[in-house]
Amino acid sequence: MLTATASHIKYKKGRLGNKVLLSLYHGMLRPRLIEEKMLILLRQGQISKWFSGIGQEAIAVGATSALEADEMIFPMHRNLGVFTTRKVPMERLFAQWQGKKNGFTNGRDRSFHFGSLEHNIVGMISHLGPQLALADGVALANKLGKEKKVALAFSGDGGTSEGDFHEALNVAAVWDLPVIFVVENNGYGLSTPINEQFRCANLADRGIGYGMESHILDGNNILEIYSAISKIAADIRKNPRPVLVECKTFRMRGHEEASGVKYVPKKLMEEWAAKDPIANFEAYLLDRGILSPEKINETKKAIKKEINAAWQATVAQPIVEAVLENEVADVYAPVSSLQSSVHSLERSGNPELTSGPQSAKTEMRFIDAISSGLRTAMQRHEKLVLMGQDIGDYGGVFKITNGFVDEFGHGRVRNTPLCESAIVGTALGLNLKGYKAMMEMQFADFVTCGFNQIINNLAKIHYRWGANADVVIRMPTGGGLGAGPFHSQSNEAWFTHTPGLKVVYPATPADAKGLLLAAFEDPNPVLFFEHKALYRSLADAVPEGFYTTEIGKARVARDGTALSVITYGMGVHWALKIVEEEGIDAEIIDLRSLLPIDYEAIDATVKKTNKAILLHEDTLFGGLGGELSAYIAEHLFEHLDAPVLRAASLDTPIPFAAPLEQIFLPVERFREQLRKLAAY
């Protein structure tokens, strides 16, 4: 560790007392000594990877010390000081880095890829930038709850080039969210210097484009960081708004230890070594008699003793035990027993459609059932927030939320900028503060812009460190309306491949409402697919008030004995029409839920009819029909009297012109396959 005889940093003590100065010194010293220990252990092969924050401790420690203990922080790789300042036990940190059970992820993730809501910390994922939108969500919750709290999120200089950075800042600015974005500009994104990353003179200048207040701080000056963040936080607690803070610092070691620093000019390393935040602050405190050499040695000795004891205790812990049942069970948060079903498949005798709550029913169109479900959920959950493009006063492009602003207010029914990724992240951030959230993808096709947040944040957060993603994403989907390649895709199979998500796809108005209400009762992320062509073309009796249709349970849409059609969504209606036209006594299973799948329903129908055809609007290759065909072939082969057949859309993008769309969709191919299977 460096030692300075005189400070190269100009400190301004202001009104800070010696107790605060010593606390900040100890706060920086602790992560530095832990890191020095970890670098030794890395060389010994006792830990697998390390991202060093040596030389950057002033930023993490200063910013964290400036906040209140219950204010949420979103750190990154080089922010060990956040965890130590928040007094996260060393033994748990060390267990995390060793993959032990006493860590925060039970060995399921490494380094700082975890959160601890007990300490109001939410860690990063490897994709740079998504944590910023989560901070937006926490800040929005603070604002809606009038809590007078701030959120603070870190980013590196490299991460400021990511779309997530810009989306998060834009949303925060538009909504005046009390969030501090701290950019640690340490000179390099891995080996790429800043002059190859951006052209603005300072990263803080980017705040201008968002109408956002911004500051440039000396990232190695602990007093400047602490004082500035304290002042900013105090101000935006009273006057909510986002603030961008650029901290100029330097990365004294490689991006991670294996990459080294050979690409960094030696002179530059020497210049920044002279600005070491701990050595300089130590010299400052010595010069003023606040510290003595004896006290420094005594403090270092005590911290090293604590580190060694915690490490030895961690080493003594057994390696994490792989228990298959636990791994599978922890993918999803447990669902409350409240989620009762309206419809279920009875297993005694012949499967038949049954109903749960015997409430009064009203004739509703598919679209009105969804709107009714949303309104019921909003009335039931006071901390449910709806977000989406044009869903406010305009009522959404399909008018599903028409009138909601008048009933629930702009705070809970929020128009969003075109920032799909940021809004998905904001939804998760709201959840971290105990809110529920729904995001409407204006069209399911636009989900690609929020894909990373869904796949890597929503889907994995419970399995990784036990947090819930209580988020519903509505997905208006499907063709038949001549909307072309970017407003008609069936993309449900993208998500059925992702453990941690739930995917539902109702075919009837009653199920549309019941499954939507079930999604809001479920603490897991649910993608709710709703076929646009059914919105105003289909009506049926729908129970009034609150009820749920159980996620993961199929229904028999038509009883029959000749063969089984297994389908969902619009496929149910195609199948009902065509089997009647063809005079085939087919049983039609409406899956309703695509993840999880009701395999018991598939077993029952195949064993009953001994023939099966899979129908879906999605393209053939990689569609759900392939997976279910494989399941039937593997588990029900001895019950089959014919090959399992499939009918799906063409393996092309969905076209615009009506004649092209008609041959793209699987309707007539299903008719041919149905005849073939019936005659086999």
Which two structure tokens, joined as six digits, stand for 58?
């002033």
Question: How far lies 114's CA from each of 377, 428, 540, 638, in Å?
Answer: 31, 15, 46, 47
Strands (E), 420-552: 436-440, 471-477, 502-504, 526-531, 539-543
Radius of gyration of the CA atoms of the chain, in A: 29
> Could you tell me the CA-to-CA distances from 354 to 507, 588, 591 in Å, in that order?
16, 15, 15
State the average pLDDT over residues 522-526.
Answer: 97
Task: Name every residue whose Cβ is closer than 8 Å to that of residue 124 and which is 6 or more positions away in sequence.
Answer: 74, 75, 76, 77, 112, 113, 130, 131
Contact 38, 97 (CB under 8 A): yes
How far apart CA 71 and CA 46 sit, in angstroms, is: 34
DSSP 3-state of 317: coil
Give pLDDT tens digits for 308-360: 999 999 999 988 888 998 899 999 999 975 543 333 333 323 333 334 455 79
C-alpha 516/C-alpha 527 separation (Å) is 10
d(CA 187, CA 253): 12
Domains along the chain? 21-28+51-288 (3.40.50.970), 362-543 (3.40.50.970), 555-679 (3.40.50.920)
pLDDT, averaged across the chain: 92
Q: What is the pLDDT of residue 295?
A: 96
b or e along 175-214 (b: 16 or more beta carbons within 10 Å of the residue's beta carbon)?
bebbbbbbbbbbbbbeeeebeebbeeeebbebbeebebbb
pLDDT of residue 628: 98
What is the rounded distance in angstroms from the CA atom of residue 37 to the CA atom of residue 44?
Answer: 11
Phi and psi based region of residue 437 (left: phi greater than 0; alpha: psi -120 to 50; beta: remaining): beta
The single-letter code of the amino acid at 208 is I
In the prediction, which pLDDT does 112 show? 87
Which SS3 state, helix, strand or coil, does residue 606 take? helix
Query: For 394-435, how does the pLDDT look when each residue is reduced to its tens digit (9 = 90+)?
Result: 999 999 999 999 999 999 999 999 999 999 999 999 999 999
The tokens for 129 are 């930038």
Angle at 673 (CA atoms; ends 668, 676), nearest 5 degrees: 130
Going by C-alpha positions, the residue among 610, 590, 632, 601 that lies closest to residue 350 is 601
Q: What is the 3-state secondary structure (H, E, C) of 211-237?
A: CCEEEEEECCCHHHHHHHHHHHHHHHH
Element (H, E) at 425: helix 420-432
Mean local confidence (pLDDT), 221-228:
98
Q: φ, ψ for residue 530 (rounded to 5)?
A: -135, 125
Encoded tokens for 571: 């496929």
The region of weakest confidence among 164-178, 247-261, 328-342, 523-537 is: 328-342
Structure tokens at 295: 């006290």
pLDDT at site 270? 86
Of 111-115, 131-135, 373-377, the poorest mean pLDDT is in: 111-115
| Residue 84 and residue 26 in contact, taking contact as beta carbons nearer than 8 Å | no
**635 carries an active-site annotation:** no
pLDDT value of position 375 = 97
Taking residues 207-225, report their average pLDDT: 96
Q: Which two structure tokens, joined as six digits, stand for 661?
A: 């769309």
Phi and psi, residue 413, nearest 5°:
-125, 100
> What is the rounded CA–CA span in Å between residue 329 and residue 105?
14
Q: Which of 50, 28, 25, 27 is nearest to 37 (CA)?
A: 50
| DSSP assigned state of 46 | S
Question: pLDDT (tens digit, 9 = 90+) per residue, 570-616?
Answer: 999 999 999 999 999 999 999 999 999 999 999 999 999 999 999 99
Does pLDDT of 541 surpass 70?
Answer: yes
Other CB atoms closer than 10 Å to residue 108's CB: what's the count? Answer: 17
Higher per-residue confidence, 507 vs 46: 507
Cα separation, 408 vs 553, whole angstroms: 32
CB 469 within 8 A of CB 519: no
**Beta strand 612-619 with 593-595: parallel, antiparallel or unpaired?**
unpaired
Distance CA 553, CA 342 (A): 10
Residue type, 57: E
Task: Give DSSP secondary structure letters for 149-198.
Answer: --EEEEEETGGGGSHHHHHHHHHHHHTT--EEEEEEE-SEETTEEGGGT-
DSSP type of residue 321? P
- Residue 660 carries which side chain, given as an amino acid letter? L
Q: What is the pLDDT of residues 13-31, one digit of tens each?
A: 999 999 999 999 999 999 9
Q: Is the pLDDT of residue 155 over 70?
A: yes
C-alpha 488/C-alpha 664 separation (Å) is 12
Strand partners, 565: 588, 613
What gap in Å lies between CA 286 and CA 296, rounded to an integer? Answer: 9
- Please choose, from the candidates 393, 364, 343, the residue with its C-alpha nearest in 3D space to the C-alpha of residue 601: 343
Listing DSSP states for 247-263 in one string gives: EE----S-SSGGG-STT
Catalytic residue among 462, 487, 531, 616: 487
Distance (Å, whole) CA 557 – CA 564: 11
Tens digit of pLDDT for each residue in 613-634?
A: 999 999 999 999 999 999 999 9
Segment 47-67 mean pLDDT: 91
SS3 for 94-155, per residue?
HHHHHCECCCCCCCCCCCCCCEEHHHCEECCCCCCCHHHHHHHHHHHHHHHCCCCCCEEEEE
Looking at residue 132, its pLDDT comes to 96
**CA atoms within a 13 Å half-sphere pointing along the CA-CB vector of 612:** 26
Q: Stretch 227-246: mean pLDDT, rounded?
A: 98
Q: pLDDT at position 422, please?
A: 95
In angstroms, the CA 450 to CA 675 distance is: 41
DSSP one-letter code for 324: H
pLDDT band, very low/low/confident/very high, at 1 (cuts 50, 70, 90): low
Contact between residue 442 and residue 415 where contact means Cβ atoms under 8 Å apart: no
One-letter identity of residue 149: K
Running DSSP on this structure, what letter comes out for residue 455?
I
pLDDT 10s digits, 119-142: 999 988 888 888 999 999 999 999
Phi, then psi, of 246 in degrees rounded to 5: -100, 125
Closest CA relative to residue 93, chosen from 114, 70, 76: 114
